[in-house]
Amino acid sequence: MKNTSVTFKEMKKKGEKISMLTAYDYSTAKLVDKAGINGILVGDSLGNVMLGYPDTVSVTMEDMIHHGAAVARGAENSLVVIDMPFMSYQASVYDAVVNAGRLMKEGRAGAVKLEGGEEIIPQVEAIVKASIPVMGHIGLTPQSINALGGYKAQGRDIESARKLIKDARLLEQAGAFSIVLECVPADLATYVSEQLSIPTIGIGGGAGTDGQILVYADMLAMFSDYRPKFVKNFANVGEMMMEGFKAYDAEVKAGTYPAEEHTYAIDPEVLEAAKINN
């Protein structure tokens, strides 16, 4: 069954947990979709994981549309959410609506995700008014890395915990259908989840959120630049890839690959005839 923003809200009402993973390409999206994952986020983490940037700041609308459209082609049942990249919505409400529209029209998203709370409420309201489902994202918001001063857990003092609770309520009131809570103390994430009627999707927020999301390359141990505390390796695909690459290298160099069964045959008479006058 096709997952939509409405499905997500119904799942919370029924007390069903929501699963999400990131993906950035067609083949991975197909696998994630077939595994029964409810939602695929084309996260701007593609800047780190796919493009090798140190952060998400340089990711562009064109990057998100290019990868988003590839994922959308591979996702039959998962809800595809595409991240609005840094500076595609912060400067004005107009930018926010136009760029959210591009992610829907050109990227074929089912919803868009924006980072931030109180400061982006006018943008969220305007995008929702344009009939585009919005997922919020609060707690650790990587696009603000230069203002936050590092990738660290958020909401650990009274002031920032209060802000997180307030931001979550404001996003719900603005019409967001769901909110990502990133790197937030588990008890605080549970409290926020209990306060809202829309589902929370946790990443580093403990087990009390309504759903979970991970970067697929982290949970398959394919990305080793850094490893956040909340990541669990569900399979060691990175090691399997390395073994495969090394085995290929060894066989190419030993001349054992390709073997007979990997080659195309030609009638010897055809070959002989082709050699004449050449």
Q: Give catalytic residues, as residue numbers.
A: 182
Closest CA to 84 of 145, 134, 128, 12: 134
CB within 8 Å of 99: residues ≥ 6 apart:
61, 84, 88, 89
Q: Does 180 bind ligand KIV (CB under 6 A)?
A: yes
Q: Does 83 bind ligand KIV (CB under 6 A)?
A: yes
Q: Does 22 bind ligand KIV (CB under 6 A)?
A: yes
Q: Does 200 bind ligand KIV (CB under 6 A)?
A: no
Q: Shortest Cβ contact with ligand KIV: which residue? A: 43
Q: Does 178 bind ligand KIV (CB under 6 A)?
A: no
* Identified binder of ligand KIV from the candidate list 215, 217, 220, 221, rule CB under 6 A: 215
Closest approach, Cβ 163 to ligand KIV, in A, equals: 19
Q: Does 112 bind ligand KIV (CB under 6 A)?
A: no
Give the residue with the Cβ less far from ligand KIV, 80 or 277. Answer: 80
Give the residue with the Cβ less far from ligand KIV, 96 or 203. Answer: 203
- How far is the C-alpha of 146 from the C-alpha of 141, rounded, in Å? 10
Q: Which residues of 102-134 are buried (b: 16+ CB within 10 A; e: fewer)?
A: bbbebbbbbbbbbbbbeebbebbbbbbeeebbb
DSSP string, 92-133: -HHHHHHHHHHHHHTT--SEEE--BSGGGHHHHHHHHHTT--
Binding site for ligand KIV (CB under 6 A): 22, 41, 43-45, 83, 137, 180, 182, 203, 213, 215
